[in-house]
Each structure stands twice: as C-alpha cells, then as structure tokens.
Structure 1
Amino acid sequence: MFRLALTPKWLGSLLLVLVLVTCFVGLSAWQVDRARYKNDVTASAGVDEVKDFNDVMNAQAPMPGILADQRVRLSGQWIPDAQVVVPGRMQNDESGYWVVTMFAPDGARLGDGVTVADADEKTIAIPVVRGFTTDEHTAMTSEARGGQVELTARIGPIEGPVEGNDLPDGQVRTVSTSQIINMFPDLLTYSGFLIPETAGGAAASVGTDGLEQVPTTTTRDEGGFDLQSAVYALEWIIFAAMALYMWFQLLRDDYVRRRLGEDSQDTEKSVEYVVVKPAGDATIAPEVMSGLTGLPAHRHGGQKPGKKSGKRSAKTGGKTDGSTSTTDPADADPTDTSTTGGN
C-alpha cells in the first residue's frame, strides 16, 4: 500500500488534500483569534472620537451597528412635553427609573431618499436619557428646562418595544422609538438614543433636580471569549481530519481492489476438479485417476499394458504351440468344473 501511495496519481491527490488541510487549519486559527478578540473595542473603530452628530446620524433612517457607543457633539433644545419614564433600570446595584426626554438637535435632517408626509410640520428629535432615580415620584415630576443646550453624548442602539399596558401613563418598559413616536405623533425620530457625558448651558437639565447622571458605559462587550467562534474553530479542525481520513480510505480501497484482482487471476490459472464416484463403488476407476494425475492406470491398480484380462479358457494339460499354459490359482474361476488334466 505504501508503494501504491507513491504513485503519481496518489501523490497528486495527497498534495491536493494537504492544500485543503492547510486552508482548514488556517480558518480554524482565524476563528480562534476571533474567539479571543472578537468583542474587543479597537481604537480603529473610532468610537471614542467625538464627531458631529449630524454627520453620523440621520432621522427616519436605520442606524448602522458600528455607530453604537459613538461619541457625538450636538446642540439643540429639550421638548419638555415629550418625556417618558422607563422603570426597571439598574444603577449602583439599585433598581430605579430612567427619565428620557426628547431633544431637538440643531441642523437635524432626514436620511437620504427618505420622504415623510407633512415633514415640515413635524419636529425631528432624539430620545436623551436625562438621569436616573430610585423614586418614582421624582421621575414622574422631573422636567427639563427650556433654552439652548450643548451635549456631548454616546449613541445607544434603540431597544425593542415591550408591551407595558400594566404601567402607569407616561411609563414604557424600553427606550423604543416606535413606541415613543406613537405617544408623540408630531415628532420624527432616529434609530437610537443618547446618553449624555456632559451638558452645557442654562437648560442643561442632565443629572439635576433629584436625578443622577447615567454613566455612559459602552453597549459593546469589552473583550472576552466568544464560544460560537470557538465551535467554528473546532469544526474546521474536524474537516481537516476528515479530508486526510478520506484520502487514506480511498487509497486503502484501491489497494484492496488491486489485491483481489491479482488473486482472481491466480485462481483462473489453477483449476480444481471434483470427481464424483458412481453409487456403490468403493474406489475411483484407475482410468479416471490416470486422467487426473497423469500416471499410468496400472499405478492406480489398473491392468498393465499387454496383459490379457478376463477369464482364461479351461484347457487340459499338454502343450500348445510348444509352450506350456499355466493357470494362476488366483485367476481361476471357482465355478469352472472342467478338469485341468487327464483322468
């Protein structure tokens, strides 16, 4: 089998398999790298660089995931009447409420190709988390002040809507723009919300009037081991092992086929005979054995050439043609009553 593996056909197929195995191992290494560093926030993402809000966000348009946690700078005014309270939020191991107020950025614009009926009559605004409190009454009565505000904030990805029919009026379970817009139909909004880092101006209203400022923790995972990528890495190693096993199995099958072919040719050269004796015979006829072995029949108990067979005729004593006839007692017929001599 080793000699067969060294033939050009199998060496070529082995080379192809080794190329595939190299690719599989490389993909596995790549997945291991992703498992270790997939969730790391890299400096190249630029999320810590402060960018102009209107350069990265457009109203009524989907927000790319890469913008999550992006730092932005914007100015505008609060819309005090457009405010919701979100219960069930945790801060400093305490459960409490977020106070979320709509904020109208200066220079806001719709996304490219987006058309909205009566857009000129509506205000573009984005939800902003003004603060946290453990007291429901404080959350429900807190109000933003009017006037110009300058914010530096991080963009948070919008949350999915959750039914909150059991909540008091003015409360929602998530910061969902679809729910907020249903509550304030005169507004147009974004696919995200803001968590302020700093607020300037007389109407800042962030972390004031009994509210604690919400920390701008990133929504991305800060590193860690990604189990899904680790499983993919293991799968690529299995594929590499399977490729080598399949090559070996095909080589082995070819070797076995060749061996069986040689054995069948040897079998055709050596012919086996089966001799069937007639019923009742104790021995095989000498002539049949002679045909099988190639030896003379008399070597198998047959009559020697030139020796007469059968019964001898009964004769009286005397000479015939000047020779004496001798009868072998063993060949004599016991039923023959003829005399063998003179009386």
Structure 2
Amino acid sequence: MLVTCFVGLSAWQVDRAQHKNDVAASSGVDELKDFNDVMDAQAPMPGILADQRVSLSGHWIPEAQIVIPGRIQNDESGYWVVTMFAPDGGHLGEGVEAANADEKTIAIPVVRGFTTDEDTAMTSEARDGQVELTARIGPIEGPVEGNDLPEGQVHTVSTSQIINMFPDLLTYSGFLIPEKATGAAASVGTDGLAQVPTTTTRDEGGFDLQSAVYALEWIIFAAMALYMWFQLLRDDYLRRRLGEDSQDSAKTVEYVVVKPAGDATIDPEVMSGLTGLPAHRHGGAKPGKKRSKTADTRNTDTSTTGGN
C-alpha cells in the first residue's frame, strides 16, 4: 500500500510538471484589471497577483530611478532601468498607517527598459507628463547587499532598498513590466532602451524540472520500500527454515543409557565414555590380557589338588 502511495505521488508530480502553467492560465491573470482595484501600497501582495495584467495612469518620478545590473535579455547581459511611477488614485492598504503619509508620494517601480550599455542606463531619464500604462505585475525581489556597485545601482528590485534610497516615497510589494505605454511621456523602450518582455518573471509552459525531480524522488522512495519489504520477508523465511521463529522453541535433549533396566552393574565401556577413563578402571578387562576358560579351569584344578 505504501509503494502504491509513493507511485501515485510520483505520477501526480509528473502531471504537475507537464501542466504547471495551466493553473496560472486559468486564474484570470490575462484579464485586464484596474491597478487600484488589486494593489494596495504598503501592504503584502497576494501571490495570485503575480503576472496579473493591469491598467493605470500617472506620471514618472524621474529623480527616483535605479539601475539593476546582471539582467539577461536575448542571451545578452545588461541593465534594467527602473523608475518610480506615481499612479493616479494610489492608496494605502486597509488599516495600514505610515508616518507622515500625507507628505509622501505613493509610487511603484516600473521597468522602463533594458540596455547592454552602462552609460546609457545611468543617463536615461523619464519624461515629465501624463502616462497610461498596460503592464504585468512582478513579485518584488529580495534585497541583496550592493556595496560593490556604483551609486544608483542595486542588485534587485527590492522595496526595502527603494524606501531607503527614496525616503519620501511609499511603495508597493511588487513592480510593473509594461506591455504598452502611451502619452507624451511614455518613456518605455525609448532613448536607447529596449522594452523588457512581460514574460520575464513567469514561465511560458513546458516541462517543470523541479516537479520532475520530485517525481523521481517518490520513485526512489517506492524502491526503498520494496527493498525493505523484501528484506523483512527474506529474514522471516530464514527464521522459519532454521526453526528460530520463536524464542521459546523446544531444544533437543540427548539421553545416555548408562545401564539397561534390570542389570545390576554398569557397562564399563559406557562409564569410560562418560568419565574419559579407561574401561578397565571401571571393572573392564585390560587390553591384551583376556583370560580364557581353559586357564580358569587349570587354576581351579591346581587349587583343588593343592588342597588335598
């Protein structure tokens, strides 16, 4: 039964590996939703919002910009240019309080583009003006210490790092990768920047290697269970064959007949076997000195004659 369970779990992981993205496709992330209906500032972002398509309008905050090295696009290593964007109607999460919130601007990081040239990344600026975006939500990344980087560069799109760099902002637990930007100040994929594909932070189908590894592990567990079962069965068989299946099994008792019933004396040969002493020590004849009946008769006659 345990083996059957393991094999079933392995089959489930294989199915998961083949259809990992079916869940995402059916969760409605491709449906365009209003940004302010799904995102709250200074609040955790539910995992189901990853890759959600949203629409919003607002304006760039050009002075609040970071550059992230080590990004790959079209098999080339380069830089992301990420600029803070203030959405119209942005609001804090329900019950969330922030110090001096009225004096701060709510903004979200937006990936404006990619370039392989560091100077282009560092000098690129967003324009002033109204912008309308259609974008996908990417989950915020964890902070990584960047003391080895030039000023203005960080390793990840991290909320905690952004807040430290721009203390006058309140932000979100996520960032945006634009599909489309319209308006006089669009500034996405312009001025030497290439637009970043919205599929960057999500899987596009295919076989999921992690689930495949889990499936293989369950098969290994099933093989181990079969091996243990075989060993137990083998040990039990050997115990039964050797008569060791019970600690209280009867032991064979050997008896030695010292003298047959009715005899008055004990056979010297038997006593010799018990004591290890020669048989003649127990009344038996000495080797090589058998007395014949003739000798006994002569002795008797001599004794009788001498008596006369």
Q: What TM bracket, shorter-length normalisation?
A: 0.7 to 0.9
| Deviation by residue 1:66-102 (Cα, 9 ceiling, x = unmatched) | 3322222122221122112223333334433322110
CA drift of 1:216 comes to 1.5
| Deviation by residue 1:246-285 (Cα, 9 ceiling, x = unmatched) | 6625743673586766x965834x6345743273425977
Provide the residue aligned with 1:231 in structure 2.
Answer: 216
How many angstroms apart in 1 are the aligned matches of 2:95 and 2:271? 99
Unpaired runs of at least 5, structure 1: 1-18, 287-326
Provide the residue aligned with 1:333 in structure 2.
Answer: 299
CA drift of 1:329 comes to 6.0
Specify the structure having the higher radius of gyration (Cα). 1
2:214 paired with 1:248:
no
> What one-letter code is carried by the residue in structure 1 that aligns with 2:115?
T
2:35 paired with 1:53:
yes
How many angstroms apart in 2 are the aligned matches of 1:281 and 1:340? 34
> What one-letter code is carried by the residue in structure 1 that aligns with 2:299?
D
Unpaired runs of at least 5, structure 2: 259-269, 285-292
Task: Choose which of 84, 103, 123 in structure 2 pairs with 1:121.
Answer: 103
> What one-letter code is carried by the residue in structure 1 that aligns with 2:223?
I
2:197 paired with 1:197:
no
Provide the residue aligned with 1:68 in structure 2.
Answer: 50
The Cα RMSD (Å) is 3.5
Q: Tell me the TM-score normalised to structure 2 length.
A: 0.76
How many angstroms apart in 1 are the aligned matches of 2:218 and 2:176? 37
Q: Given that residues 236 and 245 in structure 2 are in contact (C-alpha distance below 8 angstroms), is that contact kept between their aligned partners in structure 1? A: no
Task: Choose which of 109, 127, 138 in structure 2 pairs with 1:156.
Answer: 138
CA drift of 1:104 comes to 1.1
Provide the residue aligned with 1:271 in structure 2.
Answer: 255
Give secondary structure in 1 for the equivalent of 2:44: coil
Give secondary structure in 2 for the equivalent of 1:60: coil
2:126 paired with 1:141:
no
Q: Given that residues 39 and 220 in structure 1 are in contact (C-alpha distance below 8 angstroms), is that contact kept between their aligned partners in structure 2? A: no
CA drift of 1:60 comes to 1.7
Q: Tell me the TM-score normalised to structure 1 length.
A: 0.69
Q: Given that residues 73 and 152 in structure 1 are in contact (C-alpha distance below 8 angstroms), is that contact kept between their aligned partners in structure 2? A: yes
Give secondary structure in 2 for the equivalent of 1:22: helix
CA drift of 1:189 comes to 0.9
CA drift of 1:185 comes to 0.1
Q: Given that residues 56 and 134 in structure 2 are in contact (C-alpha distance below 8 angstroms), is that contact kept between their aligned partners in structure 1? A: yes
Q: Given that residues 145 and 203 in structure 1 are in contact (C-alpha distance below 8 angstroms), is that contact kept between their aligned partners in structure 2? A: yes
Identity %: 66
| Deviation by residue 1:285-314 (Cα, 9 ceiling, x = unmatched) | 79xxxxxxxxxxxxxxxxxxxxxxxxxxxx
> What one-letter code is carried by the residue in structure 1 that aligns with 2:125?
E
Give secondary structure in 2 for the equivalent of 1:174: coil
How many angstroms apart in 1 are the aligned matches of 2:118 and 2:7? 57
